[in-house]
Amino acid sequence: MKIKAAVTHSKGEPFVIEDVELAEPKIGEILVRITASGICHTDEVVQNQFIPVPLPAVLGHEGAGIVEKVGLGVEEFQVGDHVGITFASCGTCPCCQKAKPYVCKNFNKINFGGIQPDGTSRLKTMDGQTISTMFGQSSFATYAVVNQRSAVKVEDPEMDLGLVAPIGCGIQTGAGTVLNRLRPEFGSSIAVFGCGTVGMSAIMAAKIAGCAKIIAVGGNNKSLELAKELGATHTVNRKEVEDVVAAVKEISGGGVNYSVDTTGNGDCVRKSLAFCDFDGTCAVVGATGDITFNIQNELMGDGKSLIGVVEGDSIPKDFIPKLIDYHRRGLFPFDKLIKFYPFEQINEAIEESHAGKCIKAVLRME
Asked if the structure places residue 96 within a domain, the reply is yes
- One-letter identity of residue 2: K
Quote the domain boundaries for residue 259. Answer: 173-311
User: Is residue 282 domain-shared with residue 300, that is, in the same domain?
Assistant: yes
Asked if the structure places residue 328 within a domain, the reply is no
Q: What is the mean pLDDT of the chain?
A: 96
Coil/strand/helix, residue 309:
coil
User: Is residue 279 domain-shared with residue 347, that is, in the same domain?
Assistant: no
What is the pLDDT, as a whole number, of residue 117?
84
Asked if the structure places residue 325 within a domain, the reply is no
Asked if the structure places residue 346 within a domain, the reply is yes
CATH at 157? 3.90.180.10
Q: How does pLDDT run across 201-255, given as a tens digit for each residue?
A: 999 999 999 999 999 999 999 999 999 999 999 999 999 999 999 999 999 999 9
pLDDT grade for 33, boundaries at 50, 70 and 90? very high
pLDDT grade for 286, boundaries at 50, 70 and 90? confident
Residue pair 87/61 in contact (Cβ under 8 Å)? The answer is yes
User: Is residue 137 domain-shared with residue 10, that is, in the same domain?
Assistant: yes
Asked if the structure places residue 317 within a domain, the reply is no
Distance CA 265, CA 46 (A): 16
φ, ψ of residue 75 to 5 degrees: the values are -115, -20
User: Is residue 182 domain-shared with residue 93, that is, in the same domain?
Assistant: no
Q: How does pLDDT run across 136-185, given as a tens digit for each residue?
A: 999 999 999 999 999 999 999 899 999 999 999 999 999 999 999 999 99
What is the pLDDT, as a whole number, of residue 148?
96
User: Is residue 159 domain-shared with residue 20, that is, in the same domain?
Assistant: yes
Angle ∠(150,58,36) on CA atoms, nearest 5: 60
- pLDDT over 90 (residue 284): yes
Q: How does pLDDT run across 347-364, given as a tens digit for each residue?
A: 999 999 988 889 999 999
> Which of 31, 35, 8, 32 has the alpha carbon at shortest distance from 364?
35
What is the pLDDT, as a whole number, of residue 118?
86
- Whole-model pTM: value is 0.95
Residue pair 66/51 in contact (Cβ under 8 Å)? The answer is no
3-state helix, strand, coil in the chain (%, to 5): 35, 25, 40
- pLDDT over 90 (residue 123): yes
- The residues with which 258 forms a beta bridge, in sequence order, are 190, 281
Q: Tell the burial category of 255 from Cβ atoms under 10 Å away from its Cβ (0-12, 13-18, 19+).
A: buried
User: Is residue 14 domain-shared with residue 152, that is, in the same domain?
Assistant: yes
Residue pair 257/276 in contact (Cβ under 8 Å)? The answer is yes
What is the pLDDT, as a whole number, of residue 287?
83
- pLDDT over 90 (residue 108): yes
Structural domains of the chain, count: 2
DSSP codes joined into one string, 241-301: -S-HHHHHHHHHTS-EEEEEE-S--HHHHHHHHHHEEEEEEEEE-S--------HHHHTGG
Distance CA 126, CA 142 (A): 16
User: Is residue 13 domain-shared with residue 124, that is, in the same domain?
Assistant: yes
Asked if the structure places residue 193 within a domain, the reply is yes
What is the pLDDT, as a whole number, of residue 301?
95
What is the pLDDT, as a whole number, of residue 249?
98
Q: How does pLDDT run across 297-353, given as a tens digit for each residue?
A: 999 999 999 999 999 999 999 999 999 999 999 999 999 999 999 999 999 999 999
- pLDDT over 90 (residue 23): yes
Q: How does pLDDT run across 54-86, given as a tens digit for each residue?
A: 999 999 999 999 999 999 999 999 999 999 999
CATH at 220? 3.40.50.720
- One-letter identity of residue 290: D
